[in-house]
C-alpha cells in the first residue's frame, strides 16, 4: 500500500521520457529500465530501476512506458450547449466563421452555475483520463462583467492556469470600440484578480491588431501574462503582435510566413499548434518542420472548445501533429509536455527530473511512440498528479 505522504518508488519503467537530455537519449532524455522516487508530491530521484533501495515502497510498472503528464496550454472548458449541428453542417461544406461563438455565449449565459460546474467537472475528468495533468482554461463565453467573472471563478476551482478572454468576439448589441473599452476597463478590473493570463482573438471578424494590442497592453498593466489567438483563419498580424508584446504564446499559427517564423524563433514566444482545430474545421495544417528548423519553441494543445475542436485528447493531438504537421514522434511528445509547460512559463511541470512536481502518466504500451502509432486507442494507464494516482 502506497501512502502519498511517504516516499515511494515507481519502478520497472520500460521507457521513461524525462525531457532532460542530460538524463537519457535524445530530445526526450529517454531512460530504459528506469525508476522514479516521489516524496511529498515531488520527484526526488530518477535513475535505473536496479538502483532503488529494496526497503522503499514501490509501484511496479511491469515494463510500461512513462512520461510527464500532458500540459494542455490552450483550452476553453467552461461553457454550456454544444454545436454538433454546426460541425455536421461544416462537414457538408459550410465554412467556419468566428460568429459561431455567439451561440455558445447565449447557452452559457443562460446556464446555472451548477450546470456549468458539472460540465467543467466532466471535461476535467476526460482530460485526466487522456493523461492531462495541467490544463489552461479560458473565459470568453460570458462577455459581460458578471458572466466573465463567473467563468473565471469556476476555472479557478480546477486550475491555476486561468485566462481572461473577454476579447473573444464582440457580443451583440455593442460596437467594437465600446466593447474594447469595457474589456480594458471595468471587465478587466473585475477579472484580473481571478486570472493569470489575458488572451485576445486577433482575427478578421473578431479584433483587429490595434484593438488586440490595446487589450493586451491593458492586461499587462493589470499584471497578467499575455497569450494571443493568432493567424488561425488567414495570414494576419497576430503572431507579430504576440512576439512584439512579449506574449508567452501565439496560438494556432495556422498561416505563417517566413517573417513570422523568424520572429517566433528569435523570441521567447512559444508557437502553440492546435491540430485538432484544423481537423475539426477541415482546414489545411501548418507544416511544423519550418518552426522546428528555425529553432522556435513549439507546443501542442487541444484547443478544447464546443465550436472548432471538441476534444480533450492530447494523444489524438499528438497523432495528428505527427501525421499531418510533420512532427517527429519525439517532437510531438515534447511539445505536448515540455512545450506546453514553456507556453505557460512553468518549470515545475512537463519534465521528470528531481524537483519537478510528480505529474506522470504510464501507458499500456512499451514506448511513447505508441501515442502516434496507435491513434484513437486509449493507451493511458495510470495518471499521477503531484504523486497521487
CB of 79 or CB of 292, closer to Zn ion: 79
Looking at 81-89, 113-121, 234-242, 297-305, which segment touches Zn ion (CB under 5 A)?
297-305
Contact set for Zn ion, span 65-104 (CB under 5 A):
none
H helices present in 55-195, as ranges: 84-91, 101-110, 113-129, 145-158, 176-182, 188-191
* CB of 16 or CB of 230, closer to Zn ion: 230
Q: Which of residues 299-328 bind Zn ion (CB under 5 A)?
A: 303
Which one, 24 or 219, has the nearer CB to Zn ion?
Answer: 219
Complex with Zn ion: residue 29 or 140, whichever CB lies closer: 140
- Kindly state the smallest distance separating residue 256's Cβ from Zn ion, in Å: 17
Q: If residue 314 lies in a helix (H) or strand (E), which one and from where to where? A: helix 314-325
Closest distance of CB 269 from Zn ion, Å: 16
Distance from C-alpha of 385 to C-alpha of 317, rounded to nearest angstrom:
21
Cβ at position 74, least distance to Zn ion in Å: 6
Nearer to Zn ion, 35 or 250 (CB): 250
CB of 170 to Zn ion, least distance (A): 16
Contacts of 146 (CB under 8 A, 6+ apart): none
Short-list 160, 137, 224, CA closest to 187: 224
Considering the complex, what minimum distance in angstroms separates the CB of residue 229 from Zn ion? Answer: 5
Q: Any bridge partners for residue 240, and if so which?
A: none
Q: What are the Cα distances from residue 12, in Å, to 4, 64, 160, 362, 387?
A: 19, 8, 33, 11, 17
With 0-12 CB in 10 A as exposed, 13-18 as middle and 19+ as buried, what is 374? middle
- Residue with Cβ nearer Zn ion (23 or 201): 201
Closest CA to 129 of 69, 45, 39: 69
CB of 374 to Zn ion, least distance (A): 27
The residue with its CB nearest to Zn ion is 303
Binding window for Zn ion (CB under 5 A); candidates: 18-26, 242-250, 295-303, 311-319: 295-303
Task: State the residues that interact with Zn ion by CB under 5 A.
Answer: 303
Amino acid at each position: 500500500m502506497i501512502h502519498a505522504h511517504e516516499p515511494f518508488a515507481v519502478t520497472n519503467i520500460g521507457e521513461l521520457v524525462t525531457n532532460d537530455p542530460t538524463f537519457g537519449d535524445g530530445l526526450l532524455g529517454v531512460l530504459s529500465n528506469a525508476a522514479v522516487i516521489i516524496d511529498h508530491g515531488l520527484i526526488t530521484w530518477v535513475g535505473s530501476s536496479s538502483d532503488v533501495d529494496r526497503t522503499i515502497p514501490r509501484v511496479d510498472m511491469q515494463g510500461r512506458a512513462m512520461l510527464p503528464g500532458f500540459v494542455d496550454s490552450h483550452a476553453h472548458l467552461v461553457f454550456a450547449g454544444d454545436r454538433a449541428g454546426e460541425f455536421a453542417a461544416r462537414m457538408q461544406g459550410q465554412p467556419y466563421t468566428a460568429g459561431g461563438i455567439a451561440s455558445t455565449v447565449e447557452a452559457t449565459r443562460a446556464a446555472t452555475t451548477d450546470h456549468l460546474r458539472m460540465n467543467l467537472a466532466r471535461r476535467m475528468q476526460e482530460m485526466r483520463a487522456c493523461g492531462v495533468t495541467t490544463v489552461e482554461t479560458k473565459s470568453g463565453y460570458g462577455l459581460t462583467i458578471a458572466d466573465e467573472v463567473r467563468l473565471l471563478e469556476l476555472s479557478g476551482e480546477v486550475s491555476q492556469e486561468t485566462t481572461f478572454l473577454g476579447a473573444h468576439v464582440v457580443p451583440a448589441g455593442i460596437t467594437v470600440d465600446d466593447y474594447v473599452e469595457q474589456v480594458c476597463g471595468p471587465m478587466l478590473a473585475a477579472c484580473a484578480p481571478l486570472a493569470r493570463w489575458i488572451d485576445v482573438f486577433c482575427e478578421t471578424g473578431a479584433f483587429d491588431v490595434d484593438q488586440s494590442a490595446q487589450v493586451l497592453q491593458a492586461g499587462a498593466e493589470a499584471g497578467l501574462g499575455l497569450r494571443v489567438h493568432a493567424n488561425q483563419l488567414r495570414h494576419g498580424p497576430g503572431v507579430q503582435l504576440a512576439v512584439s508584446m512579449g506574449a508567452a504564446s501565439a496560438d494556432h499559427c495556422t498561416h505563417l510566413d517566413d517573417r513570422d517564423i523568424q520572429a517566433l524563433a528569435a523570441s521567447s514566444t512559444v508557437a502553440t499548434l492546435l491540430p485538432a482545430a484544423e481537423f475539426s474545421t477541415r482546414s489545411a495544417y501548418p507544416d511544423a518542420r519550418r518552426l522546428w528548423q528555425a529553432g522556435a519553441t513549439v507546443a501542442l494543445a487541444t484547443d478544447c472548445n464546443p465550436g472548432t475542436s471538441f476534444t480533450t485528447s492530447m494523444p489524438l493531438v499528438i497523432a495528428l501533429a505527427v501525421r499531418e504537421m510533420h512532427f517527429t514522434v519525439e517532437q510531438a511528445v515534447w511539445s505536448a509536455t515540455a512545450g506546453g509547460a514553456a507556453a505557460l512559463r512553468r518549470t515545475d511541470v512537463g519534465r521528470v527530473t528531481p524537483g519537478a512536481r510528480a505529474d506522470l502518466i504510464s501507458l499500456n504500451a512499451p514506448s511513447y511512440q505508441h501515442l502516434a502509432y496507435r491513434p484513437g486507442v486509449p493507451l493511458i494507464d495510470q495518471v499521477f498528479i503531484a504523486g497521487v494516482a
